[in-house]
Amino acid sequence: MILRHFLHVYDFNSETLRHLLDQALALKKNPVQPLLAGKSLGLIFEKPSTRTRVSFEMGMAQLGGSVISLQNSEMGLNSREQVKDISRVLSRYVDMVMIRAYHHRDILEFAAYATVPVINGLSDLHHPCQGLADALTILEKKGPLQGLKLCYIGDGNNVCRSLLEIGTRLGMNVVVCCPQGYEPDMMGVSASISHAPTHAVKDADVIYTDVWTSMGQEKEFAKRMADFEGFAVTTELVAKAKRDVIVMHCLPAHRDQEITDAVMESARSVVFDQAENRMHAQKSLLLHLMGVSL
């Protein structure tokens, strides 16, 4: 079997990404298939998790495989034991590993020493599994992705970077709207930058937002709240996009900060379909990494 990792969206070309999305749609229609019977997935959590843990555990269960979840308090990445040692040991026990870590460099090191496929479940720089689920949700709700306008409003964080990567790969027109100084790294991606939300959302097919203060940035809360004033996704802002615009958020949401409660609960919101699609997209990914197709 060819050793594949999924550490960034750009690890896969557009053809592979489209295959993963089409396969995820098929899996969603017929979710319980024992295609990975006898296979195992190790989950490592240095950061807290709700959707990532449950979606991987239930997804693997539906595919007939088994899962073991490990918290950092049990493992001690770079404290009790070095990353490269944990990687080589777990590679002897399980068929795949998903790691959710604070530092992207740790995930890269883990993958460098692993002899099984490694999945980035989130790092400070990238969130590729979220990007894959986001693209699946947009495809499901809006049809072919080519030419759609996606407006991301918020911090140029890990979610934004992965969204830019998958948007570039799949032909969406991505606009990132953020305050000065919060722009994402644009290396290798194609997008427009705006600092005016009302202008950015014009003709948008999709409006996407995320928290203004991510895990590990709590000390910056007051400054970020001031800097992001005027960047909330409100009913009034949504009304300036296309009439059939959908609104997305990767969760957890700080309601009435980056997005109002009214928008979260509106008919335009696909937030919970998006959360469900983490499981379907990741099931497709797991099959691909194991060299299995429907």
Could you give the CA distance from residue 151 to residue 197 in angstroms, rounded to a whole number?
A: 9
**DSSP state, residue 98:** E
- Sign of the alpha-carbon torsion through 131, 100, 11, 63: negative
- Return d(Cα 2, Cα 116) in angstroms, integer: 10
> Pairing mode, if any, of strands 96-100 and 118-122?
parallel
| Annotated catalytic residue 127 | yes
Catalytic member of 100, 126, 224, 249: 100
Selection from 67, 109, 51 nearest residue 279 by Cα: 51
210 is catalytic: yes
**Does residue 100 have an active-site annotation?**
yes
Longest Cα–Cα distance of the chain, Å, equals 54
Element (H, E) at 15: helix 14-29
Name the residue type at position 107.
I
Q: Return the H-helix or E-strand segment holding 83.
A: helix 83-90
* Identified catalytic residue from 4, 5, 126, 127: 127
User: 25, 281 in Cβ contact below 8 A?
Assistant: no
H or E element, residue 61:
helix 51-62
Q: Which of 161, 210, 274, 282 is catalytic?
A: 210
Q: Which of 250, 274, 282, 288 is catalytic?
A: 250
Active-site residue, selected from the candidate residues 8, 51, 124, 130: 130
* C-alpha pair distances (Å), 291 with each of 2, 96, 113, 228, 249: 8, 12, 20, 44, 31
Task: Please check whether residue 165 is in contact with residue 189, taking contact to mean a CB–CB distance below 8 angstroms.
Answer: yes
Catalytic residue chosen out of the listed positions 51, 169, 278, 280: 278
Is 126 among the residues known to form the active site?
no
d(CA 21, CA 23): 5
Q: Catalytic annotation on 268?
A: no
* 160 flagged as catalytic: no
Three-class SS state of 232: coil
Residues forming the active site: 100, 127, 130, 210, 250, 278
